Copies of this chain bind each other. A is one copy, B any other.
Amino acid sequence: MIIVMKKSATPVQLEHVVQKVKDLGFTPNISRGVEKTVIGVIGEEGKVRVESLETFPGVESVVPIEKPYKLVSREFKDESSSFKMNDGTIVGGKKVVVMAGPCSVENRDMLYLIAKEVKKSGATFLRGGAFKPRTSPYAFQGLGEEGLKYLREVADEVGLQVVTEVMDTRQVEIVAKYADMLQIGARNMQNFDLLREVGISKKPTLLKRGLSSTVKEWLLSAEYILSKGNFNVMLAERGIRTFETATRNTLDLNAIPVVKSETHLPILVDPSHGTGRWDYVGPLAKAALAGGADGIMIEVHNNPVDAFSDGAQSLLPEKFALLMAELKKVAGAVGREI
């Protein structure tokens, strides 16, 4: 870290800070300038309580230099990561994975109908919520284990992998029993106990970005999972919260190159939640693919008007089929497959 002293700092104050740095086991390196003095402190910052140094008299600011994450970083592993699902699907490879399905599992019939359609169009994962995080306690909260069973049965019949959300530490075991990939939702990105349990489970995991999480915080949440020995993590950008209300969230495609330069983990983009409107899903799915995404998640519903949740952002199966045809062209233009 770099400690910047105030212009008005006295020699005694400087000495006081230098001594503290030494007490912490580091070698300070002092640069005296015409106006200000800075102290370079090189070492493993994780072990020091950096911010506290800001309370020392004479200190103007403390600037961290080391990256706070290790296992997820490109510095730890330079080559991009990929991992293989049960059915051989590679996540993070040349072929972009497509996850599609309804927001909520409503019943077995609708799920089967949608699953068959998205499989035909080229999706490899079936998505659908059995446990639903809902802003209001009075909204539909999901079918629970019944929904998980439908997901498993339908996916097996049709030939898809199951990705579904786990909301609570107590649900990890049961969701892991039915699903191929666990999803951690945006609201739980910093539910640290849940991250730890999912890490211990070793299940492939899709980690959604929190609504107001920086990429740095997102990677630190992934670090929680990797630090428990689970390296099968895919990141999912699904829109951040900004002042703009024309879309439900602001899908942040800048995150793609940022993530690619910071971490070896693959990244998926979810334009359905990102925008909240089905007619914006197509342009942003294509944009995400052209921008380098390793996966796309799209909500598909056979009857959006009667959907139990998020109907406004769901594509009809036939529109999804058309979009997939367009995505194939874009994938080809950027050296990928779909």
Residues of A within 8 A of B (CB): 2, 4, 7-8, 20, 29, 31-36, 38, 40, 42-44, 46, 49, 51-56, 63, 65-66, 68-70, 75, 133-139, 167-170, 187-188, 190-194, 196, 210-212, 214-217, 220, 223-224, 227, 240-247, 250-258, 260-261, 274-275, 277-280, 283-284, 286-292, 304-312, 314, 326, 329-330, 332-334
Residues of B within 8 A of A75 (CB): 7-8
Q: Tell me whether A46 and B136 are in contact (CB under 8 A).
A: yes
A65 and B42 contact, Cβ closer than 8 Å, known pairs A167-B192, A250-B250, A286-B290: no
Q: Which residue of B lies closest to A248 (CB)?
A: B51
A253 and B330 contact, Cβ closer than 8 Å, known pairs A170-B170, A261-B279: no
- Chain B proximity of A269: nearest CB distance (Å): 10
Q: Tell me whether A192 and B49 are in contact (CB under 8 A).
A: no
Residues of B within 8 A of A8 (CB): 75
Which 5 residue pairs spanning A and B have beta carbons closest together?
A33-B42, A212-B212, A287-B291, A52-B311, A290-B290
Q: Tell me whether B215 and A51 are in contact (CB under 8 A).
A: no
User: In the bound complex, what is the Cα–Cα distance between A29 and B29 (angstroms)?
Assistant: 9
Contact partner of A305 (CB less than 8 A), chosen from B56, B304, B329, is B56
Q: Tell me whether B242 and A243 are in contact (CB under 8 A).
A: yes
User: In the bound complex, what is the Cα–Cα distance between A308 and B52 (angstroms)?
Assistant: 9
Residues of B within 8 A of A29 (CB): 29, 31, 40
User: In the bound complex, what is the Cα–Cα distance between A241 and B66 (angstroms)?
Assistant: 24
Residues of B within 8 A of A280 (CB): 254, 257-258
Contact partner of A187 (CB less than 8 A), chosen from B68, B190, B245, B290, is B190
Contact partner of A254 (CB less than 8 A), chosen from B20, B43, B246, is B246
Q: Tell me whether A247 and B242 are in contact (CB under 8 A).
A: no
